[in-house]
Structure 1
Amino acid sequence: MKNCTTLLITISVIITIVSCNETKKEVKESPTEEQPPNIVFIISDDQAWTDYGFMDHEAIETPNLDKLANESHTFTHGYVPTSLCAPSLASIITGVFPRDHMVLGNDRVLPGDDKGGKPAWLSTWRADNYSTVIEDFKELNTLPKLLKEKGYLSFQTGKWWLGNYENGGFDDGMTHGNPERGGRHGDYGLEIGRKGMDTLNNYIDLALEKKKPFFMWYAPFLPHSPHNPPDSLLQKYLPKAPTEFVAKYWAMCEWFDQTCGELTDYIEEKGQTENTLFVYVCDNGWVQNENNSRYNPISKRAPYDYGMRTPIMFKWKGKIEPMLDDRTLVSSLDMLPTVLDLVGIERPKELDGINVLNKTELENREAIFGEIYAHDFNTVDESLFYQIVITEPHKLIVPNEVNKPNEKIQLFDIYKDPFEQEDLADENPEIVMKLKAQIEESWNE
């Protein structure tokens, strides 16, 4: 009897162990919450909206960005709210206008500052003036900060004007921002792309090793000057361009495209393409002068489309349907709210953009807006140059009466006249008044 009892106990223990193992197996194999997508922002630096293969440029070849455009929901009538890099990038990362994040220009100049005949960025007090801007910026919501809610790791590379990468909420990055070591607008970060992609690739590997979704800020110093492309690309464009200056710029555009291909190829090699959301934009435009290395004043820092317009793309394979939209108006301010909706994070109330993949929000939008300030800025009132409103089909440019007293209001039909050659303001006073009222309403909000 004792042996039978022992046998029964043994059998019971075995059944219990097997049952526990099966339960553990079921728990292990049960579906877990789907990991949110990796997010990669690709940000061109100083490139006109026309200067891509998919935008039908006569000479510039951009096969990798053409492929990205074909695989994305691509808006060809995208705009940045301001046509200078520091404020434009700050708006991309915060989703608010420059007047809200207060990075109005590239350098801050206070009353009484003596530059000694030097540009602000070469003056010793530049870092001191900018420090208060950075301290205020650190209190704002940024995309890296918001993504922490979903467990994202974030990494900064390339252009970054606001000191150390940590000031934007990034976990890690390439920009130290120390003015004593040459920190101003990217320092070590500006090497990405121009000197290879290893640092970026290593961080992707780290995030995958930790099994964490990642946010990658890829804002290389390309095709930005200095225009010193690889010789093979320069030789390719010299016979096609009107001058060597133009050939160098065109070659820089293709060099940037090559680095974008290296980035997307690496993510494909890691098996992450279907789990990665790519977002593309350019910080501001550029028109290359034919006879020197400078830009044409109708582009960078200007209120015209050559300065403000950019393709904006959203690609998430299998989740976002590819299409080329050559009509809808969108803004770089829309990038942040669109991304937050896609990954399921509640939007902060202060955002100035919308989810451009939401048809209802697009249909309810009447206009997008822009504002341009002095390169060396102080306050909004002292530094404002232009206010812009863009609708379908009109764009109104309102120069500041104090800072631009000799300029007149301009009105263009940007669909019939995409290069803004015919000013329609004098013959359409009603439209001008209506659009000015929209600007005032936007600023009052």
Structure 2
Amino acid sequence: MTSRVLSRLIGLALALGGAAPALAAPPNVVMIIADDQAFGDYSFMGHPQIRTPNLDRLSAQSLTFRRGYVPSSLCSPSLASILTGLYPHQHKVTSNDPPLPAGKVGVAAIRDPGYLAARREMIANFDRSPSLPKSLATKNYLSFQAGKWWGGNYRHGGFTEGMTQGDPDKGGRHGDEGLKIGRQGMTEVFEFIDKASGQKAPFFLWYAPMMPHSPHTPPARLLEKYKGAAPSLEVAKYWAMCEWFDETCGQLLDHLDKNGLAKDTMVVFLADNGWIQDPKADRFAPRSKQSPNEGGIRTPILIRWPGHVEPSVSNQPVLSIDLAPTILAAAGLTPAPEMQGLNLLDQAKVDQRKAIFGEIFTHNAVDIHDPASSLRNRWAIEGDWKLILPAPQNTPDTTAELYDLAHDPGETTNLAAQNPEKIEHLKKLIEAWWPATTNRN
């Protein structure tokens, strides 16, 4: 509604002796982010063993995008993109960590003065980037960070409150106190919700527990449940962690229900990146985390907003960077001009988008000031066709991969040699999106 139309309505109401028309209040926003969970590892996504009854219920009440994607399959850049609505090459948090200092490893490396200075520089990127909490604060939202957070103190992300202190000089890296949430209860989250509700203030909650992330230490009752069905103890632990995480989501959703907040709250769910459990060790298998494959970048994305979003299922590919524009639009705000995502509640625009893109970087940055220096792959999905385009500076022995996801969802058959025209077409789309030029020789 434009200001001119609003003024006319108010004037008409006053002329008729009535009150000015009430404007809809912006919704509370609860963002739930799974940490290292594969896109199919939910019962609502068809997993035959893992039980996720609370997220199943959320999905049934939501607009569910079964083909959601994160642009980068590593925790820090992915989370930064969710918060800012920017691609990693835009916000420049491309990697989990700065470059390792020459000749140093372990504790000596992370305590190196140059390494710590680089970490502070990476954190400072959040001060220069837009973020959901910063934008929502203009609408008097209170915001709370709980769980994984790589951006130093929560204030760097624009949160008004939070759990992570994030002092790199004291070992703060990816959450410190925030990592207790979920695994050690939900007290801080509930206290924040109750406080905001008591003040009648709209709120934004970042609930990103380190779950089902390693270490996989589920309650014994859940581990016993999966031991008989899983192919190994390590897989059973991971499956049990998925259900434990689901239980915490249920506690959060129940708290909204019990306090009469669900009808006024937009709940958003996704995972920061995928995970395929190595059956023999507490680590991820290839083609999952850190990879451009579906096991690394794909995630379901759910949006529940009672009375505003009709529950339905979509197979249209969408991105995590779409969430910031979606949430801001719901709050009556305009996304920052550098945000390239779409409002996922605008179905026409979602249907009109021809392709989505992403980028995979090295775990430790090569040069924190030059995103392309750390690039490993760029990828594009147009319809059911997916191109993975390697970056020669960091993946010199690999070639382009092309997959038909409709007939080969497991990406087992590289069709690049048979489809040079499709390769060239998708490559041009990628280059137009981000040419990935580097300043390094």
Length-normalised TM-score, structure 1? 0.91
1:332 equivalent in alignment to 2:323: no
Q: Provide the rounded CA distance (Å) in 2 between the counterparts of 1:250 and 1:381.
A: 36
Is residue 44 of structure 1 aligned with residue 71 of structure 2?
no
Are 1:243 and 2:243 counterparts?
no
Letter in 1 for 2:396: P
* Paired letter, 1:391: E
Out of 367, 376, 401, the position equivalent to 1:410 is 401
Q: Deviations over 1:115-143 (max 9, x none)?
A: 52338974434332111122232121100
Aligned residue type for 2:27: P
Once residues 350 and 30 of structure 1 are traced to their aligned partners in structure 2, the CA distance between those partners, rounded to angstroms, is 36
1:146 counterpart = 2:149 = no
Does residue 341 of structure 2 align to residue 353 of structure 1?
yes
Q: Secondary structure at the match of 1:138?
A: helix
2:154 pairs with one of 157, 162, 165 = 165
**In the alignment, is residue 301 of structure 1 matched against residue 271 of structure 2?**
no
For 1:149, the aligned partner's letter is: T
* 236-245 or 115-124, which deviates more: 115-124
Q: Answer yes or no: is the 8 Å Cα contact 1:109–1:120 preserved in 2.
A: no
| More deviation, 358-367/300-309 | 358-367
SS of aligned partner of 2:275:
coil
Of 398, 410, 435 in structure 1, the residue corresponding to residue 389 of structure 2 is 398
Match of 2:185 among 172, 196, 199: 196
Distance 1:39 1:77 in 2: 22
Task: Indicate how the Cα distance of structure 1 residues 370 and 233 shifts in structure 2: closer, same or farther if over 3 A, else same.
Answer: same
Aligned equivalent of 1:98: 88
Pairing of 1:197-212 with structure 2 (within 5 A):
197-212=186-201
How much does 1:360 deviate?
A: 2.4
Q: Which residue of 2 aligns with 1:365?
A: 353
**Could you say which residue in structure 2 is the equivalent of 1:434?**
425
- 1:282-321 equivalences under 5 Å are 282-321=271-310
Is 2:46 aligned against 1:53? no
- What SS does the aligned partner of 1:334 have? helix
Determine which of 415, 428, 434 is the counterpart of 1:443.
Answer: 434
Q: 2-side partners of 1:151 and 1:168: how far apart? A: 16
Q: Is the 8 A contact 2:120 2:168 kept in 1?
A: no
Question: What letter corresponds to residue 145 of structure 2 in structure 1?
Answer: Q
Q: 2:253 aligns with which of 250, 264, 271?
A: 264
Structure 1 residues 120, 359: CA separation in 2 closer, same or farther (over 3 Å shift)? Answer: farther
Q: Which amino acid aligns with 1:435?
A: L
Gaps of 5+ in 1: 1-25
Q: Residue 425 of structure 1: CA displacement?
A: 0.7
Residue 343 (1) aligns with residue 331 (2): yes
Give me the CA root mean square deviation: 1.8
Secondary structure of the corresponding residue to residue 423 of structure 1: coil
| 1:118 is aligned to 2:109 | no
Offset at residue 426 of structure 1 (A): 0.6
2:272 partner letter? D
User: In the alignment, what sits opposite 1:17?
Assistant: none
Letter in 2 for 1:354: L
Q: Secondary structure at the match of 1:93?
A: helix
The secondary structure found in structure 2 opposite 1:99 is: helix
Which digits, 9 at most, give the CA deviation of each residue in 1:262-284, with x for residues without a partner?
00000101100000000111000
Query: Residue type of the partner of 2:337?
Result: K
Alignment partner for residue 61 of structure 2, among 47, 71, 74? 71
Deviations 1:255-309 (A, max 9, x none): 0000000000001011000000001110000000111111102100001000000
The answer to whether the Cα contact below 8 Å between 2:111 and 2:169 also exists between their aligned partners in 1 is: no
Match of 1:232 among 197, 202, 221: 221
Aligned partner of 2:241 in structure 1 is 252
Specify every segment of 5 or more residues in structure 2 that has no aligned partner in the other structure, as ranges.
1-16, 437-441
* CA-CA distance at 1:386 after TM superposition: 0.2
Letter in 1 for 2:364: D
- Percent identity, please: 47
Q: Indicate the larger mover: 167-176 or 342-351.
A: 342-351
What SS does the corresponding residue of 2:222 show, helix, strand or coil?
Answer: helix
**TM-aligned CA deviation for residue 393 of structure 1:** 1.0
Q: Deviations over 1:59-89 (max 9, x none)?
A: 0000000111110000000000000000000
Bigger Cα Rg: 1
Q: Any conservation in 1 of the 2:380–2:386 contact (CA below 8 Å)?
A: yes
Asked if 1:421 is matched to 2:412, the reply is yes
SS of match in other structure, 1:155: strand
**Displacement of 1:347:** 1.6
* Residues 380-432 of structure 1, C-alpha deviations (whole Å, 9 max, x = no match): 23211001001101000011112111111000011221111111111000000
Q: Structure 1 residue 182: deviation in Å?
A: 2.9
Q: Sort the Cα spacing of 1:88 and 1:115 in 2 relative to 1 into closer, same or farther, 3 A.
A: farther
Once superposed, which parts of structure 1, at least 4 consecutive aligned residues long, lie more than 6 Å away?
none
- How far 1:49 moved relative to its partner? 0.3
Query: How far does residue 30 in structure 1 lie from its aligned partner after superposition?
Result: 7.7
Partner of residue 275, structure 1: 264
